[in-house]
Amino acid sequence: MRRRQTRALIGLNAALLVVLGAVSLTPVAGAQGATRRPPGVYSIIGGDLPSGNSNGVYVLDSANRELILLRWDNTRNIVEGLGYRDLNDDVNAEPTR
More confident residue, 68 or 1: 68
pLDDT (tens digit per residue) in 71-87: 988 889 999 999 999 99
pLDDT (tens digit per residue) in 4-26: 899 999 999 999 999 998 888 87
Q: Rounded to an integer, what is the distance from CA 68 to the centroid of its chain?
A: 14
pLDDT of residue 28: 66
More confident residue, 62 or 49: 62
* Structural domain total, the chain: 1
User: What span, in angstroms and rounded, lies between the C-alpha atoms of 68 and 61?
Assistant: 9
pLDDT of residue 53: 75
Domain-embedded: residue 63: yes
- What does pTM read for this prediction? 0.57
pLDDT (tens digit per residue) in 44-54: 999 888 777 78
Domain-embedded: residue 97: no
Domain of 48, in residue numbers = 2-92
Burial of 85 (0-12, 13-18, 19+ CB in 10 A): middle
